[in-house]
């Protein structure tokens, strides 16, 4: 049911964990729907220098989390903000229809982390 890319990111997730002294942290999802994603970022000069995730969720939730960290590392905040859940799903060669809504939240977590950073930075 999952693409090879999804399975690759699921079996070898990139950037698992929590960034130390994170510039921003975003958490989305809830236990009822079965997916919780927590993304932490380190921002320097408006560039995402480091990013890590922790995720409680299904294969799609973990793979999208992993993929989004790969997609944003080294990107400017502007670039990162343009990444959508659809971008992430596409980068994974698609997700099963049933997974498109609930488990495809990684970009939301990223945006929440950026927002958190901006709030803290007083931007």
Partner 1 sequence: MKKIYFDHNATTPVDPEVLDAMLPFLKEEFGNPSSIHWAGRNSRKAIEEGRDKVCRLLNCANLELIFTSSGTEGDNHAIKGVAYAKKEKGNHIITTKVEHPAVLNTCKHLAKDGFETTYLDVDSDGMIDLEVLKAAITPKTILISIMYANNETGVILPIKEIGDIAKARDVTFHTDAVQAAGKIPLDAQKLNVDLLTISGHKLYGPKGTGALFAKRGVRLVPLIHGGHHDRNRRGGTENVAGIAGLGKAAEIAMRDMEKESAQLSTLRNRIEKGLAEKIPHIKVNGHADKRLPNTANISFEFVEGESLLLNLDMKGIAASSGSACTSGSLEPSHVLLAMGLTHEMSHGSVRFSLGKSNTAGDVEYLIEIMPAIVERMRSMSPLYAGAK
Which residues carry out catalysis?
33, 102
Label residue 88 exposed, middle or buried (CB < 10 Å: 0-12, 13-18, 19+): buried
Minimum CB distance to partner 1 smaller for 1 or for 86: 1
Name the minimum Å distance from CB 31 to partner 1.
4
Task: Determine the Cα–Cα distance for residues 35 and 72; give it in Å rounded to an integer.
Answer: 21
Contact string 45-74 vs partner 1 (x = CB under 8 A):
--------xxxxxxx-xx------------
Contact string 81-120 vs partner 1 (x = CB under 8 A):
---------------x-xx-xxx-----------------
Check binding of 36 to partner 1 (CB under 8 A).
Answer: yes
Residue 42 makes CB contacts below 8 A (sequence gap 6+) with 19, 21, 22, 23, 48, 49, 50, 51
């Amino acid at each position: 049911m999952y693409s090879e890319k999804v399975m690759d990111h699921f079996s070898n997730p990139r950037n698992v964990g929590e960034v130390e002294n994170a510039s921003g942290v975003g958490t989305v999802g809830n236990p009822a729907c079965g997916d919780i994603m927590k993304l932490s970022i380190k921002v320097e000069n408006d560039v995402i220098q480091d990013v890590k995730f922790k995720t409680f969720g299904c294969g799609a939730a973990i793979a999208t989390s992993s993929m989004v960290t790969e997609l944003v590392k080294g990107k400017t905040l502007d670039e990162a903000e343009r990444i959508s859940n659809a971008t992430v799903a596409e980068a994974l060669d698609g997700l099963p229809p049933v997974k498109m809504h609930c488990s495809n939240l990684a970009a939301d977590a990223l945006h929440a982390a950026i927002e958190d950073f901006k709030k803290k930075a007083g931007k």
